Amino acid sequence: QVQLVESGGGVVQPGRSLRVSCATSGFFFKSYSMHWVRQTPGKGLEWVAVVSSDGTDEYYADSVRGRFTISRDNSKNMVFLQMNSLRAEDTAVYYCARVYCSTPSCSQGMDVWGQGTTVTVSS
């Protein structure tokens, strides 16, 4: 069945780095753009980043641009989020999600989500 499984979350000090991963299975990965969305405890959803289906285009939220990097490995059906210079306000549950679209923005919605991985930035 279709699955997205995030991993790599944890507790990290401010200013340090962390990489979270999303392993996918059960669908043709190369046909989908992949997104990261985060949710602060008790708060709403915030879109973080997207990578196009072929990995050539990346876009970021203003709050993470220059600090976070999204990438994908189409040979391993995985997507990654490298997070540098972490701040307390980056503390959140990070979800990966897929969209059936080759470009970063289109009319399709995020139809499958992972269960999330928790990142806590604290000294």
Partner 1 sequence: DIQVTQSPSSLSASIGDRVTITCRAGQSISNYLNWYQQKPGKAPKLLIYAASNLQSGVPSRFGGSGSGTDFTLTISSLQPEDFATYYCQQSYITPLTFGGGTKVEIK
Query: Among 12, 20, 79, 99, which residue sits at the site for partner 1 (rule: CB under 8 A)?
Result: 99
Of 86, 103, 117, nearest in space to 20 by CA: 117
CA–CA dist 28, 42 (Å, integer)? 34
Query: Which x/- pattern over 11-50 shows residues binding partner 1 (rule: CB under 8 A)?
Result: ------------------------x-x------xxxx--x
* By CB under 8 A, residue 67 contacts partner 1: no
Q: How far is the CB of 73 from partner 1 (least distance, A)?
A: 22
CA–CA dist 89, 67 (Å, integer)? 13
* Residue whose token pair is 């995020």: 110
* By CB under 8 A, residue 59 contacts partner 1: yes
Helix, strand, or coil (residue 88) = helix
Residues found near partner 1 in the complex (CB under 8 A): 35, 37, 44-47, 50, 59-62, 95, 97, 99, 104-111, 113-116
